[in-house]
Amino acid sequence: MDWSTFGIKQTNSSRWGRVHGPFMMEELVCQNQNMMISKGIFKNSNPLKYATPLLFLQMSVIIITSRLIFRFLQPLKQGMISAQVLAGIVLGPSFLGHNKAYMDMFIPAGGKITIQTLSNVGFIIHLFILGLKIDASIIKKASSKAILIGTASYAFPFSLGHLTVFFINTTVGLHRDVFHCASTVIFLCSMTSFPVTTTVLAELNILNSELGRLATNCSMVCEACSWFVALAFNLYTRERTMKGVWGIVMIAGLIGIVGGIFRPLIIYLTERKSKSMNNKDLVPFFPVLLVLAIASISAEAMGLHAAFGAFWLGVSLPDGPPLGTELATKLELIASNMLLPCFIAISGLQTNFFEITKSHESHVVLIEVILLVTYGCKFLGTAAASAYCQTQIGDALCLAFLMCCQGIIEVYATVVMKDAQVVDTECFNLVIVTLLLVTGISRYLVVYLYDPSKRYKCRSKRTILNTRERNLQLRLLLCMYNVENVPSMVNLLEATYPTRFNPISFFTLHLVELKGRSHAVLTPHHHMNKLDPNTAQSTLIVNAFQRFEQKFQGTLMAQHFSAAAPFSSINNDVCTLALDKKATLIVIPFHKQYAIDGRVGQVNGPIRNINLNVLDAAPCSVAIFIDRGECKGRRSVLMTNTWQNVAVLFIGGRDDAEALALCMRMAENPELRVTMIHFRHKSSLQHEDYSEMAEYNLINDFKSHAAANKGKVHYIEEIVKDGVETTQAISALGDAYDMVFVGRDHDLKSSVLYGLTDWSECPELGVIGDMLTSPDFHFSVLIVHQQQGDIALAMDDDTYKLPVEHQKIGDTRIQPRFSAEEGFTTIDLDKS
């Protein structure tokens, strides 16, 4: 070819020029051979004129720039997608790219094609991951409330947006290109994709909140509406020939092949590899990639984007472990963290504000008006439908803002339409900028307006002390991460001594980190999917407690739950369940695990954050369980009484009183020896000073009980003068006790603690609790914290009141108020 005929330009590893295409002038790019890898600067070879070094430079600059922008946007609660689009705008022709020398060096025509190709591969894999995390069956579980709100969220902007275009066209008159662009813009603005919504909810730590579950279901319904409208529009606009019919048939055939052939094949290969390697977590990684490539090629062959086949292949596969979790873990590092930022940044690189000419300013204004009207109708339609469904006004507004949030799916749709020349550059610029502004403002307002903990941050807090004073039923919520937490939790339950006239209600909650799926789950155990590997571990936990129930039949009732959510927000599930089940005490494991020799074996930082969040907002008392069952070899026998000696360390304060109230119940256990060690300063011997009368009465009750049960219940006073002597007295406990109870907070001005408050490794445990985490101690510890409320317990607790009369020896009557139905109302997880 004679390049001199149309202005040859050679930059980097490619040649390009403008030629006459079938419809308009187009760019023709020819890649030079042997220009992949540079020979080095020492041989006078510029690396940026070669494809591979240039590609690495482009990826590095895009990723670093997007990370820097994200760091600045973090205080405004913006997402990484917004930062990546802004990085593209900054690096593109709107800002730095306005300099021609920079553009020829950083993004030449040939280099742009290379990074576009590679980033499209990353986007295809990322869309496969998004589809993999979707459980399509949740749309069947969507309530009528979610269906109404989701439908209104799409119907209002779509219909009213078109009415606005019709009105403007009738009154003012729209240019043909503007009219065509407006229809596309309305379709884009009306969308709310399920993957984008769940991503936003997870980033804002409200995925498993009440609002988050409602928004998840509504977005699924809204996305289904957009698919139906797109299909109907496609059928309407296609040529009335057999080619149009065959196009629809081929799309349906592709989905059928994905669900009927590819899905069973991948599941079969997964099961086969798991059995051959005797490991359930192994997946056939490379065969899955091969099937993914075939599905993408099939979509391209049918005239669709390759991402269409990849997405529906992901949707067809089961979410969660092992398949969803393992594939997402392996693919996200490269596809989502390295290649996807380049794909999103390219959308910003394609924006060019300088192409908006004065002659088209009126067109720009009209398109922007249509954009804002459509977003406004979407907001008002969602809020109105939510209010009609009797949603609180604050939650309705937040839901409307969430449904206006858009992300990678909408950016991808806009880029595809620009490449297909459905929208021009000016319209593309407006859509991208308006999307960023609307999403950014909506995210910030949701964070400002919505507090997921407001539901359980009630003025009255349930406490063990109040339960004891009002003769109410003890109700425990036991949180566990794995089966290793079970034995000590069972020992704790057994030590509380459930009887027919003093029964216990307890609820177990298996906490699972959300991996390989996009939506959070809080469900009773018997509703869990039997094919989910998490169900197997939950079943082991439930079976252990059911054996314990059989041993104490008629004296306790239990209900078992599982929660799968991001660890950053799973505390919402803990507090919500505690509120709904009217729990008195939440027991959560300590974030450190101890080995058999007493040393710290494993430290889990996310679990510590969970404990801090629960302590901050729980609707009842909270206890952190430091489990050292392995240190004494007391974990092998599950259903026998392995605790013989229990002690409570009492210094003073509400938390110590709460711990003592729990031990008072254990003191009634005939097979358990309970000791109260009361630390007092010499000055307090002359005049006893207690912060509350309830604390004084509780100590006197324990003394009376100790006097009546000598040999089994003991009261010991330790007279100390400062923190040093307190530490020496606690260190002298040695191995005399299996379990020690202590309050979290004390009077820090007390002379008993003098010198101990200067340093603390785990402040959430308090001064004494932090001391007891030392490997020098070999007994388990329960640190109790009484939540502070403004008013007394609500009177609805009379439902759980116990009989006043004492149990007679040999009396086998069951407390009449304690039945299988009482207090065990199921959580309506499908109400949203």
Question: Residue 534 and residue 564: Cα distance in Å, rounded?
Answer: 9
Considering the domain architecture, whether residues 298 and 381 belong to the same structural domain is answered as yes
Residue 812 lies in a domain: no
- What type of residue sits at position 594? Y
Q: Rounded to an integer, what is the distance from CA 824 to the centroid of its chain?
A: 27
Q: Give 686's Cβ-side CA count (13 Å radius).
A: 2
Considering the domain architecture, whether residues 538 and 634 belong to the same structural domain is answered as yes
627: CATH? 3.40.50.620
Considering the domain architecture, whether residues 568 and 427 belong to the same structural domain is answered as no
The dihedral sign for the CA sequence 146, 148, 149, 154: positive
Residue 357 lies in a domain: yes
Q: Rounded to an integer, what is the distance from CA 477 to the centroid of its chain?
A: 21
Q: Report the candidate in 449, 423, 430, 448 with the shortest Cα–Cα distance to residue 372.
A: 430
pLDDT for the residue 817: 37
Structural domain including 404 reads: 56-450
Residue 459 lies in a domain: no
Residue 741 lies in a domain: yes
Per-residue burial over 1-39, b if 16 or more Cβ lie within 10 Å, else e, is eeeeeeeeeebbbbbbbeeeeeeeeeeeeebeeebeebe
Degrees to nearest 5, angle at CA 744 with 738 and 745: 145
pLDDT for the residue 648: 92
Query: Beta strands 521-524 and 556-565: pairing type?
Result: antiparallel
Considering the domain architecture, whether residues 764 and 656 belong to the same structural domain is answered as yes
Considering the domain architecture, whether residues 706 and 679 belong to the same structural domain is answered as yes
Considering the domain architecture, whether residues 616 and 722 belong to the same structural domain is answered as yes
Residue 265 lies in a domain: yes
Q: Which whole-number Å values give the CA distances from 675 to 146, 667, 681, 702, in the listed order?
A: 55, 9, 19, 10
Question: Residue 717 and residue 715: Cα distance in Å, rounded?
Answer: 7
Global pTM?
0.83
pLDDT for the residue 758: 72
Residue 714 lies in a domain: yes
CB 14 within 8 A of CB 108: yes
Question: Residue 186 and residue 431: Cα distance in Å, rounded?
Answer: 10
Q: Which residues contact 577 (CB under 8 A, 6 or more apart)?
A: 477, 507, 509, 522, 561, 563, 583, 827
pLDDT for the residue 234: 64
- What type of residue sits at position 206? I
Q: Give 683's Cβ-side CA count (13 Å radius).
A: 6
Count of structural domains, the chain: 3
Considering the domain architecture, whether residues 25 and 60 belong to the same structural domain is answered as no
Q: Which residues contact 168 (CB under 8 A, 6 or more apart)?
A: 174, 366, 369, 370
Say which DSSP state 806 is in: P
Residue 100 lies in a domain: yes
Considering the domain architecture, whether residues 413 and 539 belong to the same structural domain is answered as no
Cβ burial of 360 (10 Å; 0-12, 13-18, 19+) is: middle
Domain end marker among 450, 480, 499: 450
Residue 728 lies in a domain: yes
CA torsion angle 112 114 115 119 (round to 10): 130
Domain end marker among 389, 416, 450: 450
pLDDT for the residue 443: 93
Considering the domain architecture, whether residues 283 and 177 belong to the same structural domain is answered as yes
User: Which position has the token pair 């609805």?
Assistant: 796
Domain end marker among 450, 484, 506: 450
471 CB neighbour count, 10 Å cutoff:
12
Degrees to nearest 5, angle at CA 311 with 227 and 212: 70
CB 218 within 8 A of CB 519: no
pLDDT for the residue 1: 44
Question: Residue 622 and residue 620: Cα distance in Å, rounded?
Answer: 7
DSSP one-letter string for 248-297: HHHHHHHHHHIIIIIHHHHHHHHHHHHHHHT-TT---HHHHHHHHHHHHH
pLDDT for the residue 17: 61
Considering the domain architecture, whether residues 349 and 427 belong to the same structural domain is answered as yes
Q: Is 165 helix (H, G, I), strand (E, B) or coil?
A: helix
- What type of residue sits at position 630? E
Prior bond of 322 cis (ω within 30°): yes
CA torsion angle 261 267 270 276 (round to 10): -90
> What strands lie across the sheet with 504-513, from one edge to the other?
521-524, 556-565, 504-513, 474-480, 585-589, 621-626, 780-785, 739-743, 645-650, 673-681, 713-720
CB 606 within 8 A of CB 569: no
Q: Is 390 helix (H, G, I), strand (E, B) or coil?
A: coil
At residue 737, φ and ψ (nearest 5 deg) are -125, 150
Considering the domain architecture, whether residues 278 and 306 belong to the same structural domain is answered as yes
Question: Residue 548 and residue 814: Cα distance in Å, rounded?
Answer: 18
Considering the domain architecture, whether residues 654 and 507 belong to the same structural domain is answered as yes
Degrees to nearest 5, angle at CA 712 with 710 and 717: 70
Q: Is 461 helix (H, G, I), strand (E, B) or coil?
A: coil
User: Which position has the token pair 């080095």?
Assistant: 40
The list of the chain residues with pLDDT below 50 reads 1-11, 23, 359, 635-639, 641, 792-799, 804-832
Q: Is 35 helix (H, G, I), strand (E, B) or coil?
A: coil
At residue 512, φ and ψ (nearest 5 deg) are -125, 130
320: CATH? 1.20.1530.20
pLDDT for the residue 826: 35
Say which DSSP state 653 is in: S
